[in-house]
Structure 1
Amino acid sequence: MARTDRLFRLLDTLRRLPQPVTAARLADETGVSERTLYRDIDTLRAGGALIDGAPGYGYTLTEDLALPPQTFTREEIEALLLGLAEVPHRGDRALALAAETALGKIIATLPDRQQRQAQHAAVMVRRAERPAAPLADLSLIRAAIWDETAVRISYVDATGTPSDRRILPLATVYVDRGVMILAWCVLRQDFRKFMADRIQGVSATDESFRPRRTALLRDYVAILTAR
């Protein structure tokens, strides 16, 4: 891992984990030795981050100059916490980790009083039932949506019939029963909805459909709205 990437990961870990964080925990989370961790802590301090603590006591990020200060009302803080807390219940593992990292960054930008409000907010998300977890790596599909490239999927429809498809993914939609992929199906030459828990496998391609995604998605949404 490049040194810059390692330092960013260390900052994100300090923002995310309950503090103070031991050197052993930080080293484990960032995948380095404790000796390397101590050097990285010194590098961040030299760059302007105020990190309290020492070996044997744990570390606390008390001032993060990498992020600008933010101001939110109490209800805005609760809304952010509620939205991000919902992600692990609806999204895949990559999105769940991203939500945790994003929350750490947001809290790190707040003044002390609002940080305490965020840490003791009276909102929680608990679900007895969760949508079926997708078998395929949805992060590949999300990346293809952003990059506007086609993907190949192995799909099993509602009748249990398998097929291999090449699709132009347009959007992911989170519905009550799971995650739906809106796409243009090259095989059927038409718009199709694919339930994520029926996608058995997915692989990327180099086939670009840029800049058609916006127009395709607009047309599909118009069709769905008309129905």
Structure 2
Amino acid sequence: MSRTARLFQLMQALRSGPSPRTSVQLAQDLGVSPRTIHRDIDALRALGAVIDGEAGFGFTLIEDATLPPLGFTNDELEALVLGLREVQLIGDPALSDAASEALRKLQGRLPQRQSHRLSHAVLTATRFDRPAVPTIDVAVLRQAAWDERAVEFAYTDAKGVGTRRRVNPLSIVYMDRASVLLSWCHLREDFRVFRLDRMQDMDVSDESFRPKRVPLLREAIARIRAEREAQEQES
């Protein structure tokens, strides 16, 4: 491995791993000696990376010189922190980990003053009652929606009645008590909403509905809004 490639991998390890990272941990990740890590840390610092720490205490990437600083107002920064912390609480494991990783990357790209503000943000998010835990792999479902592929799954409704459904996944909506899938149902030939904690044995099919996801989603949202407005007028 060339030194340039190793320095790049070291930056990636400092960005993505939990902080601080010791030279021993970093050496194990890159397959080199701790002494090499110390030399490479010095080289990265010479190139402009702000890396806090020293041998025996571990290293933390404070500011990444390879990425341009991001400009946010203080309120924008608080909004980002609040949103990402909410995702950490309500998202599926993969999405929750992605939110944590995004916070780390964001901190590495911010100017030092705002990086400190991100670490000690005034706003936070907490939930005493979390949404029902999904019984399928939500990451797989998200990918199927992006790939615009139909999925099949067993579904049990609120009355305990079970059916087998084949749907075009359009969007996943995180609500107070449960996360739901907004979809086009092949069985009902209409839009339907399914709770993720009532779905089981999901399979992604080879059937593509590209490029219909975006127009279908727009139609579904428009119908939901129209129904909501009609209900408000009746009341």
- Secondary structure of residue in 2 paired with 1:95: helix
Amino acid of the structure 1 residue aligned with 2:32: R
Is this contact kept in 1: 2:63–2:110, CA < 8 A? no
Q: What's the % identity of the aligned pairs? A: 43
Is this contact kept in 2: 1:181–1:194, CA < 8 A? yes
- Structure 1 residue 66, shift from structure 2 partner: 3.5
Aligned pairs for 1:137-156 within 5 A: 137-156=137-156
1:32 maps to what in 2? Answer: 29
Cα distance in structure 2, aligned partners of 1:206 and 1:221: 26
Deviations 1:145-171 (A, max 9, x none): 111111111211111122221110011
Is this contact kept in 1: 2:131–2:175, CA < 8 A? no
Largest Rg, 1 or 2: 2
Q: 1:37 to 1:97 in 2, by over 3 A?
A: farther
Amino acid of the structure 1 residue aligned with 2:201: G
Is this contact kept in 1: 2:63–2:111, CA < 8 A? no
1:132 maps to what in 2? Answer: 132
Cα distance in structure 2, aligned partners of 1:70 and 1:32: 29
Cα distance in structure 2, aligned partners of 1:38 and 1:195: 53
- Structure 1 residue 34, shift from structure 2 partner: 6.1
- Listed as ranges, the gaps of 5+ residues in structure 2 are 228-235
- Secondary structure of residue in 2 paired with 1:168: strand
1:106 maps to what in 2? Answer: 106
Is this contact kept in 2: 1:24–1:34, CA < 8 A? no
Amino acid of the structure 2 residue aligned with 1:206: D
Deviations 1:32-81 (A, max 9, x none): 37637876783993995734555533112244133221121222111111
Q: 1:156 to 1:48 in 2, by over 3 A?
A: farther
Cα distance in structure 2, aligned partners of 1:101 and 1:185: 34
Amino acid of the structure 1 residue aligned with 2:29: V
1:13 maps to what in 2? Answer: 16
1:167 maps to what in 2? Answer: 167
- Secondary structure of residue in 2 paired with 1:35: coil
Cα distance in structure 2, aligned partners of 1:194 and 1:24: 47
- Give the TM-score taking structure 2 as reference length: 0.80
2:233 maps to what in 1? Answer: none
Is this contact kept in 2: 1:140–1:202, CA < 8 A? no
- Secondary structure of residue in 1 paired with 2:94: helix
- Structure 1 residue 202, shift from structure 2 partner: 1.7
Q: 1:152 to 1:65 in 2, by over 3 A?
A: farther
- Secondary structure of residue in 1 paired with 2:159: coil
- Structure 1 residue 124, shift from structure 2 partner: 2.0
2:187 maps to what in 1? Answer: 187
1:60 maps to what in 2? Answer: 60
Cα distance in structure 1, aligned partners of 2:211 and 2:194: 22
Is this contact kept in 2: 1:23–1:34, CA < 8 A? no
Amino acid of the structure 2 residue aligned with 1:45: L
